[in-house]
Structure 1
């Protein structure tokens, strides 16, 4: 055990040497951690610059109209990103609509009401879904899910909703098990473990004394979740949703297997379509010239789209925090 440094020892040469060495260690630690942060920032800037340089010929050729042009003609070198953007947003939206409630329910069950003996194995099983490679999800979607989806969902739903003015048109199309809706459902299963695991961890961080105090005041489980757990864990829940959305926007192989890969604007949610990532996966290896530059432009647009989504999520958190502060929370 080291002897505590007394006030009269501060001028001792040995004590001064120890203090100097500690300052050196602190400075070294600061510089190393700063270098790691700068390295990540430089890598991000390098990715952006590389994408923009390779995408610039496409933007120079087609201008901003490239974003809202619905044409993809490789032979005549006429390209537009609208169809890929719509497919990306549609499949990601479907994945979020299905995945967010499921992830929230799983996390809520594991953290609040699940028996202790079941909590660990069930949580591990959910997390193992994240370890399944993307291409396995795609193969499952194409060879297992698509036939079952066509026989037991698309055909019965179309027969049930035939003749309905709006809903019937939305669920129309050829019932082959592929398309925008099928890709969105596969994506929901892929993003589910990430959102569920993060949300569960955030719920478990909530101090137990807050829950016990609420229960002691007579609150029900629903009231505890609504008035105690959710306000405390709001930032983490939003972060989990954004993590899932980022995964959904950038997913490649699973979407490529089941979306149908048709460069056209889908008229129904069962119709085949194309996403930015599926277009890159299918066409990049055989692209050259302007075709290759347009694929880089699609990648750059995907990066901008993801950045905008994350920025809006951050803005939402700030607005909610400001609202809490104005109410005196």
Structure 2
């Protein structure tokens, strides 16, 4: 009994000795966490303020029409962001359209079809695609994909689909190789690993009991995938697609190599164009300090930030609506 009492007294003394340390370390820990959150908001606010303040003279000079004006002429110092906004959104949508079915197919293959020894090599290969620098994608696209598109892809598409009444406008023009479709294809390969990795995580999180129940009532593999796995993880999949879209919107170097960098707007998938990021990368070194061109480029950066914010907000709304449903 004396030993028990002495043990309790020792434990009480240990707790009492630890309390002062905890009282000191806990506020410090909470303060560090608050500081981390405030630093993130502060950095974001400073970036927004820098872009807005730097580009404000361009808006004052050209008005709100700067956003949709299609004129970009450094010689006459008349600038508009319409071509770049169109190219940014158009090429990013093309990338998502190409990457989405490929991501679904790869994720389903890895989670349901592929044998065990084959899953790991394919998974590692997909992860390696995400590790390749964007400038390497751009060089590969310029030296390999652009000639292939000009020689073997664009000419037959122009011949077969160009004369069609409704969609023909998308497949008209000379087969230059570089253009919106090529840029979208390169970006699709770049965002493919991100979307696929999240799809795999989502599909692997589906409870096996649910899928086994579907198989037990006679469902095929495709029916289980369509009616069980995809609905179960639809919310996270929407977030994955929006993440890929946001990644494509801000891509710079790879797009600069293969989009053609022409500041004119066209409905053709084969026509050269420009994005906000590629225009900034091309023309920022030539813009002198305090010039209207530099201010217009900063305003382009602010517009790109607004577009990315809108995409993020839409993704949050979609995810929230799915959760409520």
Q: Does 1:253 align with 2:253?
A: yes
Aligned to 1:92: 92
Q: Judge conservation of contact 2:68–2:82 (CA < 8 Å) in 1.
A: yes
Which residue of 305, 309, 312 maps to 1:310?
312
Q: Does 1:40 align with 2:45?
A: no
Following superposition, the deviation at residue 151 of structure 1 comes to: 1.2
Following superposition, the deviation at residue 296 of structure 1 comes to: 0.4
5 Å-filtered alignment, 1:227-246, equals 227-246=227-246
Number of equivalenced pairs: 320
Q: Judge conservation of contact 1:107–1:197 (CA < 8 Å) in 2.
A: yes
RMSD: 2.3
Q: Does 1:65 align with 2:58?
A: no
Q: Does 1:131 align with 2:131?
A: yes
The 1:160–1:194 alpha-carbon spacing in structure 2 relative to 1, beyond 3 Å, is same
The 1:232–1:169 alpha-carbon spacing in structure 2 relative to 1, beyond 3 Å, is closer
Match of 2:209, SS state, is helix
Q: Judge conservation of contact 1:9–1:15 (CA < 8 Å) in 2.
A: no
The 1:50–1:113 alpha-carbon spacing in structure 2 relative to 1, beyond 3 Å, is same
Separation in 2, partners of 1:279, 1:269: 19
Following superposition, the deviation at residue 63 of structure 1 comes to: 1.6
TM-score, normalised to structure 1, is: 0.91
Separation in 1, partners of 2:130, 2:143: 20
Aligned to 1:268: 268
Separation in 1, partners of 2:206, 2:10: 44
CA-to-aligned-CA distance 1:21-55 (integer Å, 9 cap, x gap): 33433333322222222221211111111111111
The 1:53–1:10 alpha-carbon spacing in structure 2 relative to 1, beyond 3 Å, is farther
TM-score, normalised to structure 2, is: 0.92
Which residue of 270, 289, 292 maps to 2:294?
292
Aligned to 1:223: 223
5 Å-filtered alignment, 1:202-217, equals 202-217=202-217
Aligned to 1:327: none
Separation in 1, partners of 2:250, 2:15: 55
Q: Does 1:119 align with 2:119?
A: yes
Aligned to 1:77: 77
Q: Judge conservation of contact 1:10–1:16 (CA < 8 Å) in 2.
A: no
Following superposition, the deviation at residue 274 of structure 1 comes to: 0.8
Unpaired segments ≥5 residues, structure 2: none
Q: Judge conservation of contact 2:87–2:273 (CA < 8 Å) in 1.
A: yes
Q: Judge conservation of contact 1:252–1:277 (CA < 8 Å) in 2.
A: yes
Mean Cα displacement is larger for which, 222-231 or 303-312?
Answer: 222-231
Following superposition, the deviation at residue 64 of structure 1 comes to: 0.9
Following superposition, the deviation at residue 11 of structure 1 comes to: 9.9
Q: Judge conservation of contact 2:236–2:319 (CA < 8 Å) in 1.
A: no
Aligned to 2:19: 19
Separation in 2, partners of 1:5, 1:320: 58
Following superposition, the deviation at residue 9 of structure 1 comes to: 5.6
CA-to-aligned-CA distance 1:144-203 (integer Å, 9 cap, x gap): 111111111111111223532233332011101011111111111111111111211222
Q: Judge conservation of contact 2:106–2:196 (CA < 8 Å) in 1.
A: yes
Separation in 1, partners of 2:309, 2:70: 23
Q: Does 1:145 align with 2:145?
A: yes
Unpaired segments ≥5 residues, structure 1: 324-329
Q: Judge conservation of contact 1:256–1:278 (CA < 8 Å) in 2.
A: yes
